[in-house]
Amino acid sequence: MRIDHVHLARLDLNLLVALDALLTERSVTRAAGRIGISQSAMSHALGRLRTTFSDELLTRGPDGMRPTPRALALIEPMQAALAQIQRITAPPAAFDPDTADITFTLGIPDSTEVLLMPNLIAHLQARAPGVKLLLHTVDRHRILDDLDSGRVDLGIGVFEQGQTHHKRRILNKESYLCLFNADLVGLEPPISLDDYLRFPHLLTSLVESAHGVVDDALAKIGRKRVIALTSPRFSVMPFVVRQAPVIATMHSRLARFFADSMGLTVSPAPVDLPDVAISMIWHVSNDAVPSQRWLRETIVTLRRTM
């Protein structure tokens, strides 16, 4: 059914509340008391209702006010409409992680997925076993549309954009480290710029471009590196580094995790690179939703322990 906005704009929906009280109580006085207005205000509302519906709605009889046939026909659809409006406008229900059965959709790069998901899933299984996660690869150029459409509840990554109806919270700031197999490249930290540029490099790019922040920094000093592999997935990089004489430059927390897990070596990058902020971003309509707020606070707490 197509909504007639012009017609609805002329209708005071409070009149439906008054009509429901009148048909329930069948008394102007009792109906007024039921919704907390004066008897004269309820009488005025009844007059407006009669005009709106072109029907008397309630008539006087020996045993009080009687609904007309039109009024009787209105009871069921009117109460259904009011119940639906109440559901739509009611504040979000309280969230109990112990009993919740809910799925959150996250837009997240695999770099953060590798670091966050083991702790987060272990926490959920212990504290909120009915909470499930659906992960999408984050696209920072599409994340705002995903949030606006409801396709994604929460984005995690490097986000500098946003509109007034988006909220953002920084989780941590990251520097960069080089990751390499010391046995294959024959280097020990800290490595020099010349040694850094002697070997091919791996680049992770989520925008299908063989150019990154390192290349911008090198261009400022008139230098250039050779990129042997460009991939949208961070998680493949340590496996390549372990097998080949190449260097990967990545966020420090992730580099240390890979080094510790796979026997690799890290070194400060021999070129000046800006720190990067890892943030959560969400739609403002989810800001006060108890379940969404709980998820964000849980992620913040777990990130502090990593």
Does residue 147 contact residue 155 with C-beta atoms inside 8 Å?
yes
Give the pLDDT confidence score for residue 178 in this predicted structure.
Answer: 98
Task: Domain count for the chain, please give it.
Answer: 3
Q: Which residues contact 93 (CB under 8 A, 6 or more apart)?
A: 290
Max Cα–Cα distance, the chain, nearest Å:
105
Query: What is the model's pTM?
Result: 0.72
Q: What number of other Cβ atoms are within 10 A of residue 161's Cβ?
A: 11
185/221 same-domain check: yes
Give the pLDDT confidence score for residue 86 in this predicted structure.
Answer: 83
197/269 same-domain check: yes
Question: Is the pLDDT score of 64 beyond 80?
Answer: no
Give the pLDDT confidence score for residue 218 in this predicted structure.
Answer: 97
243/107 same-domain check: no
Question: Is the pLDDT score of 207 beyond 90?
Answer: no
Give the pLDDT confidence score for residue 122 in this predicted structure.
Answer: 96
| φ and ψ at residue 99, rounded to 5 degrees | -115, -5
In a domain? residue 139: yes
Mean pLDDT score of the chain = 91
Report for 19-23, 189-193, 210-214: range of highest mean pLDDT: 189-193
In a domain? residue 284: yes
77/123 same-domain check: no
Question: Is the pLDDT score of 6 beyond 70?
Answer: no
74/144 same-domain check: no
User: Average of pLDDT values for 79-106?
Assistant: 87
71/194 same-domain check: no
Does residue 266 contact residue 185 with C-beta atoms inside 8 Å?
no
Does residue 167 contact residue 144 with C-beta atoms inside 8 Å?
no
Does residue 46 contact residue 25 with C-beta atoms inside 8 Å?
no
Output the CA torsion sign for 9, 12, 13, 16. Answer: negative
73/111 same-domain check: no
124 or 162, which is more confident? Answer: 124
239/202 same-domain check: yes
CATH number of domain containing 203: 3.40.190.10
In a domain? residue 235: yes
In a domain? residue 44: yes
29/82 same-domain check: yes
181/265 same-domain check: yes
Question: Is the pLDDT score of 57 beyond 80?
Answer: yes
Give the pLDDT confidence score for residue 197 in this predicted structure.
Answer: 97
User: Average of pLDDT values for 67-94?
Assistant: 85
User: Average of pLDDT values for 203-217?
Assistant: 85
220/246 same-domain check: yes
* Residue (of 245, 123, 122) closest to 184 by Cα position: 245
In a domain? residue 95: no
137 or 153, which is more confident? Answer: 153
Q: Indicate the residue among 46, 61, 89 that finishes a domain.
A: 89
Please name the amino acid found at residue 107.
G
What range defines the domain where residue 52 resides?
5-89
59/25 same-domain check: yes
